[in-house]
Amino acid sequence: MTNVKLAVVFYSMGGTNYQLAKWAAEGAKEAGAEVKILKVQELAPESVIAGNEAWKATVDATKDVPVATSADMEWADAIIFSVPTRFGNMPSQMKQFLDTQGGLWASGKTVNKVVSAMTSAQNPHGGQEATLLSLYTSMMHWGAIIATPGYTDPVIFGAGGNPYGTSVTVGQDGKMIEDVQGAVKHQAKRTVTVAEWVKKGNQ
């Protein structure tokens, strides 16, 4: 059987979700997947980004990361999304990307994609679960198969115990408070495993 093809699609302003995406890619590769790390298009004006040191640093750090396209979504058997929370919702940059996949959806090419999601916020109850659920609502319309981590490994409890997807709290210093690397890798491996089952079932 060919390896599962996984797209890790992120939006990151302060670097957290870029790091989550890199950990997810590592976990997926350990599970034998072929992986692409992709960012969504930045929509904020350069003048605004230039005035925020952390944001500008993230833009610079991710300048060579390819921007996700519909072709990447079609290529992928599985997709892991990583986004910060914005008032309990995904950021407009990720929403814009999802909203431009109408052609792919209309042609049935989003059906049976295996998807999972991760997020971050500045407070433990800053909207992480609602953000993941808002993203999964779109995935239900896609006809995608949502592979959440649930409580499938003890590492999830150490990362805060979010069954919808790994979520992390980021302090005022920009550093992650919970240790979520293991949970991210587990979630990625689980997503790849479910995608393998789906792929085998379709052969």
Q: Which residues pair with 119 in a beta bridge?
A: 83, 167
Whole-angstrom CA distances from 19 to 11, 43, 108, 122, 139 are: 11, 20, 32, 16, 23
From residue 159, alpha-carbon distances to 91, 154, 168, 181 in Å are 23, 9, 7, 8
**Domain count across the chain:** 1
Give me the CATH number covering residue 182.
Answer: 3.40.50.360
Q: Which domain holds residue 150?
A: 5-201
- pLDDT tens for the chain, residues 1 to 203: 459 999 999 999 999 999 999 999 999 999 999 999 999 999 999 999 999 999 999 999 999 999 999 999 999 999 999 999 999 999 999 999 999 999 999 999 999 999 999 999 999 899 999 999 999 999 999 999 999 999 999 999 999 999 999 999 999 898 999 999 999 999 999 999 999 999 988 66
CB atoms within 10 A of CB 130: 18
